[in-house]
Amino acid sequence: MSRVYNFSAGPAALPFEVLDRIKGDLFDWQGTGMSVMEVSHRGKEFVQLAARAEKNLRDLLSIPDNYSVLFLQGGATMQMAMVPLNLTAPGDTADYVVTGSWGKKAASEAAKFCNVRLAADASNSGFTHIPDESDWTRSDIAAYLHYTPNETIAGVEFDYIPGGDAPLVADMSSNILSQPIDVSRFGVIYAGAQKNIGPAGLTLVIVKNELLDRARPNNPHLMTWKSYAESDSMTNTPPTFAWYVADLVFRWLQEQGGVQAMSEINDRKSGKLYSAIDASEFYSNPVAADCRSRMNVPFLLANAELDARFLEESHAAGLTNLKGHRSVGGMRASIYNAVSEEAVDALIGFMDEFARKYA
Ligand SMILES: Cc1ncc(COP(=O)(O)O)c(C=O)c1O
């Protein structure tokens, strides 16, 4: 068996221990004589798994009791439509803070359903900073304020939770479970699973119960958070395999010491990678120091003509998926929870060697 160091932005690396457990479970899960993919989601074993996954997630993030935890499908992108469909009536206003491509996409999707105002927009700077919160222009009548705590493409992450009276809606796809968060400050948190939670196909929504009654009455059933909240997320057949893996990932996180321990490891991993980039004249990162992402580290080579060679040689050295998003170019190392410190050390070692060879 040969495993690589995988820096993919998503679907992303999963913990080895989780993959190993899946392998062991595959043909006979919990003595059922079947894989978890072959059992009914309404059977005793799966219902127990679902309840355990929810409980463990609640413990990991200290989710208050007045919040529902929903396990659904459609990815974070479907939530970009579900958010306005569940929180506004036609003609209502919603504020969006755009600090990267995903926030921009969320705003344009919501504009199909409600009146979207950009309270702040960092697109002019090429998404390299977060506009000062005191400069945001918020609407007094906004049904909610949407932002993206971590922009996966630009590598821009908030190190604080915005204030204000409107319910806060956060697309936490790429930094959920990377650090402790005060869930009570949010109205809604959503996240596609394929970075820090498990495989693609599962989407998490954490929603304050008092917001569940704002959904448009003619929403499709599957586009209504309340339907999931009232059916333990069994509104229809859920993504059972992805849910099973998420349960294993939550248990793995607990074994690592929870999100506080992960946060310390993530600080160390990203800190040493940014230090290596900043110390070199060969590599650079354009993002303002106070909002650099701890999960996605984009970097440019001084000579873009060497990009293809960097990718080729890093791949040959067992370091994969380092190509930056096409909209920013260069490289990007996504270093989610399951990417070990050893992988980051190997990347730094490779970068150093490559710079010495070609500078
Ligand atoms: C912050 C953020 N939001 C949304 C998405 C889109 O997620 P999905 O493909 O699950 O719809 C991504 C995807 O990679 C992301 O990083």
Convert 295-311 to b/e letters by CB count within 10 Å (16 or more is b).
bbbbbbbeeeebbeebb
CA-to-CA dists, residue 106 to 100, 180, 187, 246, 298, angstroms: 10, 24, 16, 25, 22
Burial of 247 from C-beta contacts in 10 A (0-12 / 13-18 / 19+): buried
29 belongs to the catalytic site: no
Q: Residue count of the chain, please give it.
A: 359
Measure the CA–CA gap between 196 and 217, rounded to whole angstroms: 33
* Alpha-carbon separation of residue 164 from 50, 97, 168, 187, 208 (angstroms): 34, 13, 8, 12, 16
Residue type, 6: N
pTM of the model: 0.98
DSSP letters, 86-106, are HH--TT-EEEEEESSHHHHHH
**What pLDDT shows up at residue 301?**
97
pLDDT digits (tens, 9 = 90+) for 89-117: 999 999 999 999 999 999 999 999 999 99
Identify which has the larger pLDDT, 250 or 327: 250
For residue 230, give every residue at least 6 positions away whose Cβ sits within 8 Å of its Cβ, in sequence order, or none. none
What token pair was written down for 357?
């060879």
- Which helix (H) or strand (E) covers residue 334, if one does? strand 331-334
First to last CA, the chain: 35
**Mutation test of ligand 1: which of 102, 169, 188 has the most ligand atoms closer than 8 Å to its C-beta?**
102
* The pLDDT of residue 1 is above 80: no
Confidence of residue 2 (pLDDT cuts 50, 70, 90): confident
Asked if residue 171 has its Cβ within 6 Å of ligand 1, the reply is yes
> Do 159 and 292 form a contact (C-beta atoms < 8 A)?
no
The Å distance, Cα 32 to ligand 1 centre, comes to 35
* Ligand 1 centroid distance, CA of 103 (Å): 10
pLDDT band at 223 (very low <50, low <70, confident <90, very high): very high
**Does residue 160 surpass a pLDDT of 90?**
yes
- Which sign does the torsion angle of CA 133, 172, 180, 195 carry? negative
Tokens 């380092």, residue located: 322
Give the whole-number percent of the chain exceeding pLDDT 70: 100
- How high is the mean pLDDT of the chain? 97
CA angle 353, 8, 296 (to 5 degrees): 80
Residue 335 beta carbon below 6 angstroms from any ligand 1 atom? no
Query: pLDDT, tens digit, for every residue of 245-262?
Result: 999 999 999 999 999 999
- 174 ligand 1 Cβ < 6 A: yes
* Cross-strand partners of 320: 6
Cα distances (Å, whole numbers) of residue 205 to 95, 150, 183, 195, 220? 20, 16, 12, 15, 17
What is the distance between the alpha carbons of residues 199 and 246, in angstroms, rounded to a whole number? 8
Distances from the Cα of 268 to the Cαs of 34, 177, 235, in angstroms?
Answer: 41, 16, 41
Q: What is the pLDDT of residues 8-45, one digit of tens each?
A: 999 999 999 999 999 999 999 999 999 999 999 999 99
pLDDT value of residue 359: 86
DSSP code at position 4: P
Task: Name the DSSP letter for residue 80.
Answer: H
Residue 295 is encoded by which pair of tokens? 């999960």
Q: Are 8 and 321 in contact (CB under 8 A)?
A: yes
Q: Is the beta carbon of 201 within 6 A of some atom in ligand 1?
A: no
């939530």: which residue's tokens? Answer: 79
Work out the average pLDDT over 218-237. 97
Give the C-alpha separation, 237 to 71, whole Å: 11
pLDDT band, residue 190 (cuts 50/70/90): very high
Residue 235 neighbours by CB distance under 10 Å:
17
Atom of ligand 1 nearest to the CA of 172: 1
Residue 312: name the closest of 252, 354, 263 by CA: 354
Query: Ligand 1 center to residue 205 CA distance, Å?
Result: 13
Concerning whether 195 is annotated as a catalytic residue, the answer is: yes
Q: What is the mean pLDDT of residues 159-166?
A: 97
pLDDT-derived band at 125 (thresholds 50, 70, 90) equals: confident
